[in-house]
Amino acid sequence: MKLALQKEKWNGLEEGEKKGISKEKNEIAKKMKDKGMDTETIVELTGLTKEEIEKL
């Protein structure tokens, strides 16, 4: 039981970290886009897809 709770807590922390990283990438990509950088460069530097960037 204790091990299951620890695993669940760890999974929650991992999920939170992933969401935080994703949010940060989106914020950076939005700033890059607002500065006039081309989409292909933003894709290369952030790892986001072209579609994700176009939605920003």
- The total of structural domains in the chain comes to 1
Handedness of CA 26, 48, 31, 39 (dihedral sign): negative
Model confidence pTM above 0.75: yes
For 3-31, write each residue's pLDDT tens digit. 888 888 888 889 999 999 999 999 999 99
Helices (H), the chain: 2-34, 39-46, 50-54
In this prediction, residue 9 carries a pLDDT of 83
Whether 5 is in a domain gets the answer no
pLDDT at 8: 86
Domain assignment of residue 15, yes or no:
no
54 assigned to some structural domain: yes
Would you say residue 18 lies in a domain? Answer: no
Residue 47 lies in a domain: yes
In a domain, 37, yes or no: yes
Q: Is residue 6 part of a domain?
A: no
Q: Degrees (nearest 5) of the Cα angle 32, 36, 37?
A: 60
Question: Does residue 29 lie within any of the structural domains?
Answer: yes
CA distance linking residue 30 with residue 41, whole number of Å: 13
Q: Which pLDDT band, with edges at 50, 70 and 90, does 33 fall under? A: very high
Above 80 in pLDDT, residue 1?
no
